[in-house]
């Protein structure tokens, strides 16, 4: 059975069913990757405390990040904005998907979400009070082009202009993602990402934004996690558009990356000085045991998880093992045209890395759970994976500037009667992952910023509002914002530029 077929059978739910199935004696992941990255890049910060040997298990206030390191938080349009029917916004695939019975937990939709569309000014004040240096948000394509093409909707553009201006007024740098999964439904009806034409529509949409906001957005991210669209949207079907079609999935992988490359080329064709790059969720993959089979399966798994997106964008070729596994007759292989990889590998200015969990791969290509999981049962809590993935990218792909644009933990947070939210688990998660990022910087990784997922509790896709990922608690019935203990802790991290 090819890896592709096996992967089709896996889902986040199935992965979670493996929790606890781990026998003893699994190799501790990451130890192989702890060597300093190649190139001997200068140490960029002080490391007075080694978090690995700190008896309390946490940093003691003397891990400083380099001067100029930026601290931020992230959200995405459909997850926080609400106002899905206002000011000329069109429908997106997530409107359709979440309104379809049985697709999301409790039938939740993003219709109201955190009501950020109306409350953005207060949210901007919250960000200022936290001391954020950077805010990563996404732009809703159907607000800008309700049907995914043609004349832009001025009211949509105005919203993002107000948001971006408000960030600048508060000294916060905007980082805008062009696409965080809310494809206009009209484009989906015309074939969505299976249709090569969607990549060209995306470049047009990107140009509208570069022209409309380019003078005030210094960093653009193209596509958020193409892999999640591929795997969740087209393999497992638990994200929009909800298909289970492996052949379509990898054609979509190609078209998403083509769209990324076309947007990069489009930016270069304007006179903008803004920087641009993709936002990739990367997963360190480790063999689950010492067998040769596990090593081989883990390597191929890494191909599907990481190299399929990294090699194409940073090396200009798709990984041969993945292409071979898909087969020469696959829809993806047949969809690659001359020049596509040149476009996909158009030079980027920075690479956005999103890290949540590692994978441990068995000899038969399955996975096992090695570490405690969070409320999101697919997430194993493994801070060293942050170090491993950051150093690996630098080692294998050279010193491309990196930003962490997502890292975080969901909890069933509750608002206590005294009006506080005590999320100690999130603090220890963030502290350990930041310490791992610091170690990567110390070892020469050119990491320039870090963003917590998420600023606010929000609509967590198929999980609806059940999982709370925010630094700031959202009381949905009243939409009141309450900074959690982690937010107050993060404010001190930002103030100290370290842990
Ligand atoms: C990432 C998504 C983000 C959020 C986090 C928890 O995969 O990019 O929107 O759902 O997971």
Query: Could you report the per-residue pLDDT of 46-62, keeping only the tens digit for each?
Result: 333 333 333 333 345 68
pLDDT at 36: 33
Cβ of 76 less than 6 Å from ligand 1: yes
Mean pLDDT of the 209-228 span: 97
Res 29 pLDDT > 60: no
Which whole-number Å values give the CA distances from 359 to 12, 217, 237, 449, in the listed order? 12, 35, 20, 25
Cα-to-chain-centroid distance, residue 72: 14
Mutate to test the pocket of ligand 1, among 460, 462, 463, 468 (most ligand atoms within 8 A of CB): 460
Cβ of 460 less than 6 Å from ligand 1: yes
What residues contact residue 2 under an 8 Å CB cut-off, 6+ apart? 325, 326, 327
Tell me which of 81, 194, 305, 406 is the catalytic residue.
Answer: 406
Question: How many other CB atoms are there within 10 angstroms of residue 380's CB atom?
Answer: 24
Under 8 Å between Cβ of 406 and 355: yes
16-25, 166-175, 298-307, 383-392: least confidently modelled range:
16-25
What global pTM score does this model have?
0.91
DSSP state of 58: S
pLDDT at 60: 52
Res 263 pLDDT > 90: yes
| CA quadruple 487, 490, 496, 499: dihedral sign | positive
Which whole-number Å values give the CA distances from 436 to 58, 187, 255, 425, 428, in the listed order? 11, 41, 34, 17, 12
pLDDT at 479: 98
Give the pLDDT confidence of 319-353 residue by residue, as tens digits: 999 999 999 999 999 999 999 999 999 999 999 99
Distance of CA 167 from the midpoint of ligand 1 (Å) = 22
pLDDT at 62: 87
Atom of ligand 1 nearest to the CA of 79: 9
Residue located nearest, by CA, to atom 9 of ligand 1: 76
pLDDT at 367: 98
Cβ of 78 less than 6 Å from ligand 1: no
Residue located nearest, by CA, to atom 10 of ligand 1: 460
Give the pLDDT confidence of 381-392 residue by residue, as tens digits: 999 999 999 999
Cβ of 179 less than 6 Å from ligand 1: no
Res 455 pLDDT > 50: yes
Tell me which of 91, 194, 225, 448 is the catalytic residue.
Answer: 225
Res 84 pLDDT > 90: yes
Atom of ligand 1 nearest to the CA of 460: 10
Query: What gap in Å lies between CA 240 and CA 461, rounded to an integer?
Result: 9
Cβ of 461 less than 6 Å from ligand 1: yes
Mean pLDDT of the 110-125 span: 98
Res 200 pLDDT > 50: yes
One DSSP character per residue, 93-110 reads: HHHHHHTSTTSSGGG--S
Q: What is the percent of the chain with per-residue pLDDT over 70, rounded to a whole number?
A: 88
pLDDT at 23: 27
Mean pLDDT of the 410-430 span: 97
Give the pLDDT confidence of 360-399 residue by residue, as tens digits: 999 999 999 999 999 999 999 999 999 999 999 999 999 9
The closest alpha carbon to 29, from 388, 430, 377, 365, belongs to: 388
Cβ of 224 less than 6 Å from ligand 1: yes
pLDDT at 52: 38
- Torsions phi, psi of 32, nearest 5? -70, -20
Mean pLDDT score of the chain, rounded to an integer?
Answer: 90
Mean pLDDT of the 33-49 span: 33
Tell me the H-state helices in 214-272: 226-228, 246-269
Which whole-number Å values give the CA distances from 222 to 329, 331, 441, 451, in the listed order? 29, 24, 25, 17
Question: In the annotation, is 463 catalytic?
Answer: no
pLDDT at 163: 99
Cβ of 459 less than 6 Å from ligand 1: no
Query: What gap in Å lies between CA 446 and CA 441, rounded to an integer?
Result: 6
Residue 271's pLDDT band (boundaries 50, 70, 90)?
confident
The enclosing H or E element of 472 equals strand 472-475
Helices (H) and strands (E) in the chain, counts: 19, 13
Distance of CA 75 from the midpoint of ligand 1 (Å) = 9
Question: In the annotation, is 293 catalytic?
Answer: no
């Amino acid at each position: 059975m090819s890896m592709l077929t096996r992967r089709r059978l896996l889902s986040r739910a199935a992965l979670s069913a493996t929790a606890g199935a781990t026998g003893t004696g699994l190799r501790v992941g990451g130890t192989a990757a702890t060597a300093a990255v190649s190139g001997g890049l200068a140490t960029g910060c002080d490391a007075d405390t080694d978090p690995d040997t700190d008896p309390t298990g946490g940093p003691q206030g003397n891990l400083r990040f380099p001067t100029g390191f930026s601290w931020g938080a992230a959200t995405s349009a459909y997850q926080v904005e609400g106002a899905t029917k206002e000011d000329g916004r069109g429908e997106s695939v997530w409107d359709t998907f979440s309104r379809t019975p049985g697709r999301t937990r409790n039938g939740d939709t993003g219709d109201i979400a955190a009501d950020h569309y109306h409350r953005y000014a207060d949210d901007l004040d919250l960000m200022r009070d936290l001391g954020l240096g950077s805010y990563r948000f996404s732009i809703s394509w159907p607000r800008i082009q309700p049907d995914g093409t043609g004349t832009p909707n001025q009211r949509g553009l105005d919203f993002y202009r107000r948001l971006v201006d408000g960030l600048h007024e508060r000294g916060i740098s905007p980082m805008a993602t062009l696409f965080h999964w809310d494809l206009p439904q009209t484009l989906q009806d015309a074939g969505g990402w299976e249709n090569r034409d969607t990549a060209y529509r995306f470049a047009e949409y990107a140009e509208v934004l570069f022209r409309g906001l380019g003078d005030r957005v210094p960093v653009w991210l193209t596509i958020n996690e193409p892999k999640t669209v591929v795997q969740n949207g087209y393999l497992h079907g638990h994200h929009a558009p909800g298909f289970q079609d492996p052949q379509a999935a990898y054609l979509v992988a190609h078209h998403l990356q083509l769209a990324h490359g076309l947007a990069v080329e489009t930016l270069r064709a304007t006179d903008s000085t803004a920087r641009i790059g993709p936002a990739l969720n990367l997963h360190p993959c480790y063999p689950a045991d010492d067998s040769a089979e596990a090593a081989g399966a883990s390597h191929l798994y890494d191909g599907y998880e990481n190299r399929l997106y990294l090699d194409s964008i940073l090396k200009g070729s798709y990984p041969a093992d993945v292409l071979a596994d898909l087969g020469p007759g696959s829809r993806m292989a047949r969809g690659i045209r001359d020049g596509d990889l040149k476009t996909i590998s158009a030079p980027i200015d920075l690479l956005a890395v999103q890290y949540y969990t590692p994978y441990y791969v068995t000899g038969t290509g399955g996975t096992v759970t090695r570490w405690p999981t969070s409320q999101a049962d697919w997430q194993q809590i493994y801070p060293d994976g942050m170090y491993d993935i950051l150093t690996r990218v630098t080692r294998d792909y050279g010193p491309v500037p990196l930003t962490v644009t997502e890292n975080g933990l969901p909890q069933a947070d509750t608002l206590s009667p005294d009006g506080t939210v005590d999320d100690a688990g999130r603090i220890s998660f963030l502290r350990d992952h930041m310490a791992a990022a610091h170690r990567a910087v110390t070892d020469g990784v050119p990491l320039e910023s870090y963003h917590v997922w998420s600023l606010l509790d929000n609509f967590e896709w198929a999980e609806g509002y059940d999982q709370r990922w925010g630094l700031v608690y959202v009381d949905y019935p009243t939409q009141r914002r309450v900074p959690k203990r982690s937010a107050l802790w993060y404010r001190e991290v930002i103030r100290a530029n370290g842990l």
